[in-house]
Structure 1
């Protein structure tokens, strides 16, 4: 149960004070009865709250798939650079945040939400959520690299990286690859290739768990997750 003014405010109908003024106009009903008291308790799952006869659907959480461009940082605020949140313009809640981070010069899939529990699960090292990247590499990527990535790479930490799946899409002086990792170490993809004597010159995340980046979602744009995608995130079992 939550207060009616909180319900209405969280659904984008204004600040608490603005909502209280709205309630005084007797345009809001709860289960078809006019309610003007802001402290009235409602159950978002069972009570029908309407404004001028139109039902207000309560959304506790929002989930957006964002195709991050270069030049913005994966943060809610930054004193120097623009943030990924600057692109999310029509969210209802004001407490959204990016799940994890992509470097400022990295593009691609980023989940934006206000669901802290889900974010924790997706980022937990014990969950091993798979993340796939497309990259262009300065240098020829070979079968030896595939074997090394599968065995684990020494990137200067206590342990080798976990086994990663490297797929060569194009090999040459500039190679194109897809790499799937199950960790999220700082600059991990770049450091893995540097350890092999090569340099990442372009990096884009194309999937995270069940979420896939599609060609119709242009760089710098976003969309709400489908119910199927949200359910798949909640049901993910990466411990096996």
Structure 2
């Protein structure tokens, strides 16, 4: 949320109610700003103002940054009619303000970054910023030297005109690699391995832009990022 902002928008976001309900509450004198009742919908407010709805203070949480160890079976969306979402794993207020910086498929596990700082998210996810995302990949077949070379030069994904940007490949075992990429196309890792005649069996994200998944976080657990991690 950017400040200053309209009172009705502030109420809607912080109380997590539709804007129409926020406007109705203001008109019915259920809202006070710094101790004074107001019916002005477009009143300009900041995070320093004390704003109350029905006698309860609505506190702006500020800019927030979280890392989550995503388990399998959850989708990276604010809401979904068919599947559980990663936001259901967060015990935090004002979830509607938060977004995901780099989504994962429903069957992919590992590091998910969540914030309400759009500029920060863009800095770490935009391909132009050349920030690597690191994945641990279990394969159906051993990866040949030729396939490694192709991945590191860029491969042609099905339905794409341009080659992928160069990747970095570490062969850890015959059926296991660590893959570093700077893009985030739809199902990219799976499609890249398919382009070289292989198949992903399991996929786990270990790091984004130098921020590594905390090994102490069990699947489904999360924590705030440290100042050092945010600065990365």
Distance 2:69 2:37 in 1: 39
TM score, norm. by length of structure 1: 0.74
Distance 1:204 1:158 in 2: 27
1:120 aligns to what?
122
2:207 aligns to what?
207
Measured after TM superposition, the shift of residue 120 of structure 1 is: 3.0
CA deviation digits over 1:68-94, x for unaligned, max 9? 111111111111111111111124553
Distance 2:155 2:6 in 1: 53
Whether the aligned pair in 1 keeps the contact of 2:138 and 2:177 (CA below 8 Å) is yes
Distance 1:134 1:207 in 2: 10
| Unpaired segments ≥5 residues, structure 2 | 51-57
Distance 1:154 1:3 in 2: 48
2:55 aligns to what?
none
Distance 2:63 2:132 in 1: 23
Q: Are residues 1:162 and 2:161 paired?
A: no
Measured after TM superposition, the shift of residue 10 of structure 1 is: 7.0
Alignment of 1:32-43 (within 5 A): 35-37=34-36
Judged with a 3 Å threshold, the aligned counterparts in structure 2 of structure 1 residues 133 and 106 are, in CA distance, closer, same or farther, namely same
Whether the aligned pair in 2 keeps the contact of 1:5 and 1:38 (CA below 8 Å) is no
1:53 aligns to what?
none
Judged with a 3 Å threshold, the aligned counterparts in structure 2 of structure 1 residues 201 and 185 are, in CA distance, closer, same or farther, namely same
Moved more, 70-79 or 124-133: 124-133
Judged with a 3 Å threshold, the aligned counterparts in structure 2 of structure 1 residues 42 and 104 are, in CA distance, closer, same or farther, namely closer
| Unpaired segments ≥5 residues, structure 1 | 29-34, 50-55, 233-240
Distance 1:7 1:22 in 2: 11
Measured after TM superposition, the shift of residue 100 of structure 1 is: 2.8
2:54 aligns to what?
none
Whether the aligned pair in 2 keeps the contact of 1:62 and 1:93 (CA below 8 Å) is no
User: Of the candidates 42, 62, 65, which is equivalent to residue 63 of structure 1?
Assistant: 65
Judged with a 3 Å threshold, the aligned counterparts in structure 2 of structure 1 residues 5 and 74 are, in CA distance, closer, same or farther, namely closer
Judged with a 3 Å threshold, the aligned counterparts in structure 2 of structure 1 residues 93 and 104 are, in CA distance, closer, same or farther, namely closer
TM score, norm. by length of structure 2: 0.76
Whether the aligned pair in 1 keeps the contact of 2:126 and 2:183 (CA below 8 Å) is no
